[in-house]
Amino acid sequence: MAKTIIISNRLPVQLQIGKGTINAIPSVGGLATGMKSVHKGGESLWIGWSGLTDEDIHISLAPKIDEALAKHGCTAVNLSEQEVEGFYYGFSNRTIWPLFHYFMEYAEFELDFWETYKSVNQKFADAIIAQSDDDDIIWVHDYQLMLVPQMVKEKKPNASIGFFLHIPFPSYEIFRTLPWREEVLKGLLGADLIGFHTYDYERHFLSSVRRLLGLEVSFNEIYLQNRVIKVDSFPMGIDYNKFSNAAKKKMANAQRSDLQEKLDSHKASAPGTKLVLSIDRLDYSKGIAKRINAFEYFLNKYPEYQEKIRLIILAVPSRSNVPQYQLLKREIDELVGRINGELATVNWTPIWYFYRSLPFDSLIDLYTSCDIAWLTPLRDGMNLVAKEYIATRTKGTGVLILSEMAGSAYEMNEALLINPNNFEEQADTLKQAITMPEEEQANRIEILQKRLSRYNVEVWANSFMETLIQQKEESPARVAK
């Protein structure tokens, strides 16, 4: 029977190495949760990097690691420190990530990075080829593995290969600046189905295929020799019930956590006081520094809200050995320090800034306690935080201010959509959010909740898989055995 193979840069488990023991703990991240319905015990295999380099793993531990991973249906691709440097921190995060998020000035076109990216993609492809049968269904995830589909297709022409990109696909004018643009496109075209979060990313991709490779493209199909490749948008959802139920449980619990107490006491400090929340990985694409500047602009434009509003910034450490991320961290530290220094009073600190990852429970405390979520990415493939905030608003109140540049904005028209570069508009929108009548909040939230609960992450994963299987059945290019 054909099985399903999932491939992503990181496995959906984290290894914990103790004295003589090794445990694989399931991750709670969006992808791991999202793929639950596809990655079921015994019927599927997940291939990825464990997060440990060859240098971290003593040779005697390797069999135990394999055993711990196998219990979760996982197989590791082992990488050396040098490979992680060039493939992950290099080409993936210093070339593709900035370029695909329209930060052209940050994109580094280093031949060494590219060579390592190619050889590591080959390693992933070889692991798939070794583990797969001719008729398997293979789902490759994200920008770290864009060459894998073609590498696998060459050796397993009958396998059904899907690829999903979790970040934006940029416009042709941006993409064409990449020195290895044709190779990347050809790598992706090894897939039978290529999925994006939005219709716009899909159109950008098709435009690059047509203009750079000169291939025949009709609506959402690409014709390559005797193959038909389907391209479509699949907006990723969240595990809606997990967030909604956690919030309901919180509401039903009379005992307040320390964090909740702290948030409550701020709200009790003056009537009408509001808490504004932002949660992101610390990444330049998320527009954190601009958001802080816009907040200062708001406090100066509407000084009557000073002492009556607090911005809570939760920034999760990310890619901290890439120079741009270190610079951004310093910029945010300084901005928060300056604004708090200039505007704080004995009773009030305008910005609370946390640079850490919080447990799920605290995340729910923040989502449920904050009156407004303010998410201002300059570019974001989707942005799941926006969806999570809505799912936790079980009382039906709360306002989401969301950047138009996030993929999720396409599905969340009832949020207050803003251009993150326009401070004037953001200041006015923040005021609109603060003064929005509860009835209007409830109307907007209700529509959003209905939509998000219907198009949850399981629906996303299943609809991608169904389209891939259908594509396989309809494809004219089955290679004779």
Q: Which residues are at the interface with ligand ADQ (CB under 6 A)?
A: 30, 166-167, 236, 279, 281, 314, 316, 357-358, 363, 380-385, 388
* Relative orientation angle of helices 181-188 and 148-155, to the nearest 10 degrees: 50
**Nearer residue to ligand ADQ within complex by CB, 127 or 363:** 363
In the complex, least distance from residue 115 CB atom to ligand ADQ, rounded to whole angstroms: 26
**Nearer residue to ligand ADQ within complex by CB, 314 or 351:** 314
In the complex, least distance from residue 301 CB atom to ligand ADQ, rounded to whole angstroms: 28
The Cα 366–Cα 398 span in angstroms is: 12
In the complex, least distance from residue 384 CB atom to ligand ADQ, rounded to whole angstroms: 3
In the complex, least distance from residue 157 CB atom to ligand ADQ, rounded to whole angstroms: 29
**Nearer residue to ligand ADQ within complex by CB, 2 or 459:** 459
**Nearer residue to ligand ADQ within complex by CB, 132 or 144:** 144
HEC letters along the chain:
CCCEEEEEEECCEEEEECCCCEEEEECCCHHHHHCCCCCCCCCEEEEEECCCECCCCCHHHHHHHHHHHHCCCEEECCECHHHHHHHHHHHHHHHHHHHHCCCHHHCCCCHHHHHHHHHHHHHHHHHHHHHCCCCCEEEEECHHHCCHHHHHHHHCCCCEEEEECCCCCCCHHHHCCCCCHHHHHHHHCCCCEEEECCHHHHHHHHHHHHHHHCCEEECCEEEECCEEEEEEECCCCCCHHHHHHHHHHHHHCCCCCHHHHHHHHHHHCCCCCEEEEEEEECCHHHCHHHHHHHHHHHHHHCHHHCCCEEEEEEEECCCCCCHHHHHHHHHHHHHHHHHHHHHCECCECCEEEEECCCCHHHHHHHHHHCCEEEECCCCECCCHHHHHHHHCCCCCCCEEEEECCEHHHHHCCCCEEECCCCHHHHHHHHHHHHHCCHHHHHHHHHHHHHHHHHCCHHHHHHHHHHHHHHHHHHCCCCCCC
In the complex, least distance from residue 375 CB atom to ligand ADQ, rounded to whole angstroms: 8
Structure tokens at 436: 């929005």
The Cα 276–Cα 366 span in angstroms is: 10
Return phi, psi of residue 321, to 5°: -100, 10
In the complex, least distance from residue 98 CB atom to ligand ADQ, rounded to whole angstroms: 13
**Nearer residue to ligand ADQ within complex by CB, 96 or 363:** 363
**Nearer residue to ligand ADQ within complex by CB, 39 or 472:** 39
In the complex, least distance from residue 52 CB atom to ligand ADQ, rounded to whole angstroms: 21
**Nearer residue to ligand ADQ within complex by CB, 30 or 90:** 30
**Nearer residue to ligand ADQ within complex by CB, 192 or 388:** 388
In the complex, least distance from residue 382 CB atom to ligand ADQ, rounded to whole angstroms: 3
> β-strand 372-375 against 137-141: which pairing, if any?
unpaired
**Nearer residue to ligand ADQ within complex by CB, 194 or 385:** 385
Structure tokens at 49: 């990097």
Residue type, 451: R
In the complex, least distance from residue 435 CB atom to ligand ADQ, rounded to whole angstroms: 27
CB 384 within 8 A of CB 408: yes
In the complex, least distance from residue 291 CB atom to ligand ADQ, rounded to whole angstroms: 14
In the complex, least distance from residue 59 CB atom to ligand ADQ, rounded to whole angstroms: 33
**Nearer residue to ligand ADQ within complex by CB, 363 or 448:** 363
**Nearer residue to ligand ADQ within complex by CB, 82 or 463:** 463
